[in-house]
Structure 1
Amino acid sequence: MAVPDNNERFDSWLGHINRACGHFAGQLLDEGFRGTLEEHHANAMKLSVVDIAHARLFRTQQEVSRGNDAWFYTVFQLEGEAVMEQGGSQAVMRRGDITLIDASRPSSFTYTQRARQVSLLVPRHLVEQNLRSGDIPCARRLNGEMPVVQLSQRLLHESMQSPDLNACESEAALEAIICLLRPVLQVRDTAVSKKERQLARVMALIDNNIQSEALRPEWIAGEAGMSVRSLYRMFADKGLVVAQYIRNRRLDLCAQALRTACASEKLAGIGYSWGFTDHSHFSTAFKLRFGVSPGEYRKRWQ
């Protein structure tokens, strides 16, 4: 039997990456390539352990548009070194470090030497509801010597050794990891810019009127004393879209309501109370964001 050459082994491994982690393109850096991937699933906990050397993975807008962008990759460096890049930021990852990568934006991972890391898929709503600043720092190295980073690593490893976690327990573990990292992810310059203060006011305006049918970009811009174009630009600078942000906030609040809703409460009524007048649209949007229908989500929490 012929032994696969370097290119064949790389193509086979890249195919496995695409099935487990989403669409990536890739290239060999030299003849010393090696690559393995192990998948671990425990309800909401979906992660891959990647062992790789002498290769580069990247996601252009083409790869992003072909997959589901409702995730963040939370990358835990176990061994070796890797360079993670996104949006002009670069994190040189060493043992014990953690970083976030947004699945909805182009990114690049470079491995010039052997590296081993865990890529944990964290639903976007968990990250956004715990980091409400509007500016989620991606490709920023979280130093493995920080106590909260070490605690997050420990929680990840303990969760990996508990394959029988139920849906609620596994989602709680995901949220706990993000909550532990929140203090270091939200470190920022003490001088908050005028634009950031304006964005914070707009987000507060959205939250305070989230149930109103009048909550549209034109109304928000008028209330905030700015043009609609400026509103769009302000959100785009943070990698956000106004209408999508509003829809996701409403879906997050629907999910929160579903966790405590009784079995007799109508799903359409819950969606309607948070601004979804069309039940079919609500159900489709909810499943796209959370991976399950509103009814299944409620069953899991009950």
Structure 2
Amino acid sequence: MAGVSEKDQYEQWLAQINQVCGSFAARPLAGEFVGELESSFANNLKLSTVTVGGVNLFRTRQEIKHSNDAWFYTVFQLDGKAVMEQDDRQIELETGDITLIDASRPCSFYWPAKARQVSLLLPRQILEQHFRFQEVSCAQKLSRDLPTVQLSHRLLQESMSNTGMSETESEAALEAIVCLLRPVLQQQETLQPRKERQFRNVLSLIDAHIQSETLRPEWVATESGMSVRSLYRMFADKGLVVAQYIKNRRLDLCAQMLRTANGEEKLAGIGYAWGFADHSHFSTAFKQRFGISPGEYRKRYR
């Protein structure tokens, strides 16, 4: 950039990162600094293309506190190399590789030399629906040799070149990327620890009785043979609140029904079918989770 010092370029680039990607801190590395950022928004697809070198970008608890953490960064390496760190795990991404970074936990990115990558913001809500709170391995190198990784890259490139995608099409593209990457992201635990098995059993119990008006934390605890306090602690260990989980699970199933049910079915009836006796409460809760009312959500999919 003519007439602009390297220090000014560095500060301008970091300000852009903080505006588009959330709150980050940075420090220069040895070598020449390169920093460019292009962002694009196609409805639900929020993409940032970063060309960068000679810098370490990181998030501590301090940055997370002042930023939206309702995302995962899905990093697609386009050129060069990058080192990613999270949860005591460090990987080196090469051209064609992918990784997932949780915005709610500290992380660090290193670019010793010029590299280029795309970061796709993946809403936490979509991961919750697909993984059902099974642990997702972040900072895990998803190799370019894997067919699902190659397909994800192609889907990303197609999505980036198609700026005219509708809201439902962009949402479907996000869902497709999650479905492609899920088999390699999920930790395959053949012998789960006792606490993990117990948690899975509680989730299954909730699903089996999700339409019942009696589904409350106290009932779940009794049926699971534990105290209410132990139940709350079990969910807290996953960063969850049991009552909120039940409500969100019901809302996700309502959304699924709104996408597929007959257009003549009453909204109040759909909410009632999944445990919402009060339509006003259902509508308010739905809008808080999905950003639009149940009626608008159904129109989007008709």
TM-score, structure 2 as length reference = 0.87
Give deviations 1:31-85, integer Å, cap 9, x for gaps: 6222111112222222111111122222333433433333222111112222222
Structure-2 residue corresponding to 1:156: 156
Residues 261 and 298 of structure 1 are in contact (CA less than 8 Å); yes or no, is this contact kept in structure 2? no
Structure-1 residue corresponding to 2:64: 64
Structure-2 residue corresponding to 1:141: 141
Residues 134 and 238 of structure 1 are in contact (CA less than 8 Å); yes or no, is this contact kept in structure 2? no
Q: Secondary structure at the match of 1:48?
A: strand
Question: Take 1:262 and 1:29, find their aligned partners in 2: how far apart are those partners?
Answer: 58
Structure 1 residues 195-204 or 183-192, which shifts more?
Answer: 183-192
Gap change, CA 1:272 and 1:35, over 3 Å in 2: farther
Gap change, CA 1:199 and 1:28, over 3 Å in 2: same
Question: Take 1:75 and 1:187, find their aligned partners in 2: how far apart are those partners?
Answer: 19
Structure 2 portions without partners, runs of 5+: none
Letter in 2 for 1:177: I
Gap change, CA 1:33 and 1:274, over 3 Å in 2: farther
Structure-1 residue corresponding to 2:256: 256
How do 1:228-239 and structure 2 match up within 5 A?
A: 228-239=228-239
Question: Take 2:279 and 2:91, find their aligned partners in 1: how far apart are those partners?
Answer: 43
CA RMSD of aligned residues (A): 2.7
Structure 1 residues 206-215 or 232-241, which shifts more?
Answer: 232-241
Residues 217 and 243 of structure 1 are in contact (CA less than 8 Å); yes or no, is this contact kept in structure 2? yes
Give deviations 1:227-272, integer Å, cap 9, x for gaps: 3343334334444443343232222112112213555555455344
Question: Take 1:3 and 1:14, find their aligned partners in 2: how far apart are those partners?
Answer: 19
Q: Secondary structure at the match of 2:221?
A: helix
Structure-1 residue corresponding to 2:171: 171
Structure-1 residue corresponding to 2:129: 129
Q: Percent identity?
A: 62
| Pairs aligned (count) | 302
TM-score, structure 1 as length reference = 0.87
Question: Take 1:212 and 1:92, find their aligned partners in 2: how far apart are those partners?
Answer: 48
Q: Could you tell me how far 1:301 is from its partner in structure 2?
A: 1.0
Letter in 2 for 1:224: S
Residues 136 and 187 of structure 2 are in contact (CA less than 8 Å); yes or no, is this contact kept in structure 1? no
Residues 135 and 238 of structure 1 are in contact (CA less than 8 Å); yes or no, is this contact kept in structure 2? no
Residues 77 and 96 of structure 2 are in contact (CA less than 8 Å); yes or no, is this contact kept in structure 1? yes
How do 1:33-52 and structure 2 match up within 5 A?
A: 33-52=33-52
Question: Take 2:165 and 2:208, find their aligned partners in 1: how far apart are those partners?
Answer: 36
Gap change, CA 1:64 and 1:206, over 3 Å in 2: farther
Structure 1 portions without partners, runs of 5+: none
Structure 1 residues 197-206 or 233-242, which shifts more?
Answer: 233-242
Structure-2 residue corresponding to 1:203: 203
Question: Take 1:50 and 1:245, find their aligned partners in 2: how far apart are those partners?
Answer: 35
Structure-2 residue corresponding to 1:182: 182
Q: Could you tell me how far 1:212 is from its partner in structure 2?
A: 3.4
Task: Tell me, yes or no, if structure 1 residue 212 matches structure 2 residue 212.
Answer: yes
Question: Take 2:281 and 2:106, find their aligned partners in 1: how far apart are those partners?
Answer: 28
Gap change, CA 1:142 and 1:237, over 3 Å in 2: farther
Q: Secondary structure at the match of 2:79?
A: strand
Task: Tell me, yes or no, if structure 1 residue 55 matches structure 2 residue 24.
Answer: no
Tell which structure's C-alpha radius of gyration is larger.
2
Structure 1 residues 36-45 or 123-132, which shifts more?
Answer: 123-132
Q: Could you tell me how far 1:153 is from its partner in structure 2?
A: 0.9
Give deviations 1:136-174, integer Å, cap 9, x for gaps: 222211111111111111111111111112222221111
Q: Could you tell me how far 1:6 is from its partner in structure 2?
A: 3.2
Structure 1 residues 140-149 or 239-248, which shifts more?
Answer: 239-248
Q: Secondary structure at the match of 1:117?
A: strand
Question: Take 1:57 and 1:276, find their aligned partners in 2: how far apart are those partners?
Answer: 44
Structure 1 residues 56-65 or 69-78, which shifts more?
Answer: 56-65
Letter in 2 for 1:41: F
Q: Secondary structure at the match of 2:174?
A: helix
Residues 58 and 108 of structure 1 are in contact (CA less than 8 Å); yes or no, is this contact kept in structure 2? yes
Residues 133 and 200 of structure 1 are in contact (CA less than 8 Å); yes or no, is this contact kept in structure 2? no
Give deviations 1:156-197, integer Å, cap 9, x for gaps: 111111111222222111111111112212242432222221
Question: Take 2:15 and 2:278, find their aligned partners in 1: how far apart are those partners?
Answer: 39
